[in-house]
Amino acid sequence: MMNFNFKLERVLNYKETVEGYKKSKYGNVQKKLSDEENKLYTFNQYKSNLQNEKNSSATKTKVGNLAMYSNYINDITKKITKQEETITRTKEELEEAKKEMIEAVQEKKTFEKLKENEYEKYLYQVKKDEEKQTDTIVSYKSSAQK
């Protein structure tokens, strides 16, 4: 009896490798997005603390110090704007990685389904061959008994 041999096994293995790579890439971009969002949160917290410090010490601080607070706040506001742009780009990158991952999963599933169908055909053929052998044996025994 012949063993099942899927002709496109190498292609299926390649598709599985590609799928793993795309999933890994998606995970990495997701982590990057999370890190960038944490940076933005930190910048916003820092800005809030600076504004609170500036407001609480406004009456007892020199004008030079208030100007320094304003400069710090302006600088951190620029960093926040840059960080928001970075997050937007990272979200776009994440969306692209997600599309690629979904496509890779679908391609792999297509080949898995093809393999499954080929295996079912193989099993059907094996069953047919066994039935032929049984019929041959039965007909041989019946003709030998006559």
Structure tokens at 126: 């094996």
* Res. 146 pLDDT band, cuts 50 70 90: low
* The dihedral sign for the CA sequence 121, 126, 131, 133: positive
Q: What pLDDT does 60 receive? A: 74
Choice among 29-33, 69-73, 114-118 with the minimum mean pLDDT: 69-73
Give every CB contact of residue 19 below 8 A, 6+ residues apart in sequence. Answer: 101, 104, 105, 107, 108
* Res. 136 pLDDT band, cuts 50 70 90: confident
Asked whether the predicted pLDDT for residue 70 surpasses 60, the reply is: yes
Per-residue pLDDT, averaged over 6-18, amounts to 95
Asked whether the predicted pLDDT for residue 64 surpasses 90, the reply is: no
Residue 50 contacts residue 72 (beta carbons within 8 Å): yes
DSSP 8-state secondary structure symbol assigned to residue 4: P
| Cα→Cα distances 31→45, 93, 94, Å | 21, 12, 10
Q: pLDDT of 35-57, one tens digit each?
A: 999 999 999 999 999 888 888 87
Asked whether the predicted pLDDT for residue 58 surpasses 90, the reply is: no
Asked whether the predicted pLDDT for residue 81 surpasses 70, the reply is: yes
* The dihedral sign for the CA sequence 67, 68, 69, 72: positive
Q: What pLDDT does 141 receive? A: 73
Residues 68, 27: Cα–Cα separation, whole Å: 41
